[in-house]
Structure 1
Amino acid sequence: MIKQAKFVISNTDYRKCPAPTKPEFAFIGRSNVGKSSLINMLTNHKNLAKISGKPGKTQLINHFEINDNWFMVDLPGYGFAKVSKSIKNTWEKMISDYLTNRDNLVALFVLVDSRLDPQPIDLEFITWCGQHGIPFVIIFTKSDKQGKSKTNQNVSKFLDECVKIFGEAPQYFITSAQNAEGKEDVIAFIDNEVIEYYDSLK
């Protein structure tokens, strides 16, 4: 359960992030996938993460401390943001440096739009995660935007593509920021991982 969420710091460099003394859970996804809305839903805040209809709003590594116990990290989106190539390359380096150098990163939540067929850019990103040993979990967003059967159909298609890449399907959650679907499951997953993280330090 998330009782407290507070902004800590924004960075462009993983070396300036908070000391890696607490377990960390990062959120990333294609531009406009609903990342900010999901983060606000999970934390019971309206404006913890900035929401924008304009892709590419998140441009920094944003750390939030949750319950004084773990970090939630809002990462820039990848994909269709209308920014210059030099800025895009800077973001990509910033994200890859962060993901490959944070030893306290317990899980990366990769957000995927449940309304769409599998998108190459999402599959390319999780393939990169697999190649670099980044522990990731899929979060399908916007499940309220179409019927349940359509959501399940698109989820199955995406998981089938994952099996082709990895030989097995990753852990996943189906969510909606509008009606809080999946909220309890995602929080329960994080809570369990936080307990295991601290147990492993004993």
Structure 2
Amino acid sequence: PAEHYLNGGIRTGYNGRTNIEGLYSCGETAATGAHGANRLASNSLMEGLVYGWKIYQDIEKRLKSKTVKEERQVLSTVDSTVMGSAGTLDDKKAPGGTKLDILTLISSLRNMMSREVGILRDSSGLEEARDFVQFHIGNENLYNRTDKDILEFANMLTVANLIIKSASIREESRGTHMRFDFPGKDDKNWKKHIILKKDKVDFKKVD
């Protein structure tokens, strides 16, 4: 449930496009701006239907404008990227050659996020969750792998890191983001979206 409390997602336009060519997003994964801090589950379902259709229309339009040669070049690039990302290390190996108990780590991350980064948050809990995520996200053995569980854990760490960072930055309570240490809503300073891209933090004001 902690992922839902992010109330955000991948930033898109109204056609579902992201800033990565060929990557679209809709529904729970997207931040379209159509709903605010109290977004309900039924709204995300509606977004999935509406923006799913808009994405289909956009892809169909773009495909019609491309030649067969261009499409083959794109597919060739995708194939090369996928093949090049195959890991050279043995899956589920940690530093020193010991086995990664990946399912235990996944369970620990889920418990940590639900306990410290749920609807009710404060700086001490967010710091504890951040330390846990930062410790594991720096493990190079989680990347360039083919094992599903390890890849899932690495992706979970990425999303968790974004949630924790956003919740730590927003020093107020708004919608389903409740900070014990900042219990009031602060429209003067925080009536805006937080946009994270790698280590860069941007803001977009809400009218």
TM interval, short-chain normalised: under 0.3
- Greater share of strand: 1
Relative to its length, the structure with more helix (as a share) is 2
State the TM-score, normalized to the length of structure 2: 0.24
Which of the pair has more CA radius of gyration? 2
Q: TM-score, normalised by structure 1?
A: 0.24
